[in-house]
Amino acid sequence: MRERSLDDPEFAAHQQLLAGLHDGLRVAQVLQAFEEIRRLFGSVPAGERIDWDAVQSQLALVLPVDYRHYCDRFPPGSVGALDVWHPASRYYSLQEAGDRLEYILASVDIDGDDWPDPDSLRLWGSISSTTIFCWDVSSSANPDEWPSVVFDTSLDIVRLGLTMTECLLGLVSGTLRNPIIPPEFESDDMLEMQLHHGGTYSINREAR
């Protein structure tokens, strides 16, 4: 059997095929949480399609596929007490999230091994401006593998290791609990989606 060099075109094509299969499996995995959220909040009217090329060009960032699916399906709003920063929102615009996060981090003194590089954090959700959910973009070149971290204004931080929609599903289902997440998530209010332009929609309890 002849040894294959890394420069062998056949070997390179095989590696590319494996990488493509891995990426495809990962996309299918991360979309499972989105599909469950879509099922639970099926009564919420559909949002408008987002011009993702324009949004990502403005941010100079390719966004995770589950986040893009979520924003295409649901209008700007909150899930329980958690506001999702959304490209179409007038109040919690993803395009302004970087400035908001910079303001929050500039007012605190970050010190500790638990913290990733603050420059690698990208805000996607918040609770009353005191509990902040971010992607850690330094963890992978693949946006679909960015884990979420959550921190509060006392600078406690937890690496959740979940995608954005996995976090939402965990909060809605009650399976995601840690000391940083406020007690608002213990109530049935978490089972509602409130749209920024008006309208409150309860979870499909029969689908839980």
Q: What is the pTM of this model?
A: 0.81
CA 75/CA 44 separation, integer angstroms: 9
Q: What residues does 127 pair with on adjacent strands?
A: 131
Do the domain assignments include residue 1? no
Q: What is the pLDDT of residue 13?
A: 43
Q: What residues does 122 pair with on adjacent strands?
A: 135
Tens place of pLDDT per residue across the chain (208 aa) = 344 444 555 434 433 433 444 455 566 777 888 898 888 888 898 888 899 999 999 999 999 999 999 999 999 998 888 899 999 998 899 999 999 988 888 766 666 667 778 888 999 999 887 889 999 999 889 999 999 998 887 767 888 889 999 988 888 877 777 666 766 665 555 578 889 888 888 876 555 5
Q: What is the pLDDT of residue 19?
A: 41
User: Whole domain around residue 137: which residue ranges?
Assistant: 9-207
Q: What is the pLDDT of residue 113?
A: 65
Q: How far is CA 93 from the centre of its chain?
A: 14
Do the domain assignments include residue 23? yes
Sheet-wide strand order for 192-195: 157-159, 148-152, 131-136, 121-127, 82-84, 77-79, 192-195, 200-202
Q: How far is CA 92 from the centre of its chain?
A: 14
Q: What is the three-class DSSP state of 134?
A: strand
Do the domain assignments include residue 3? no
Q: Please report, for the domain that includes residue 187, its CATH number.
A: 3.40.1580.10
Do the domain assignments include residue 98? yes
Q: What is the pLDDT of residue 22?
A: 44
Domains contained in the chain, number: 1
Tell me if 146 sits within 8 A of 136, measured CB to CB: yes
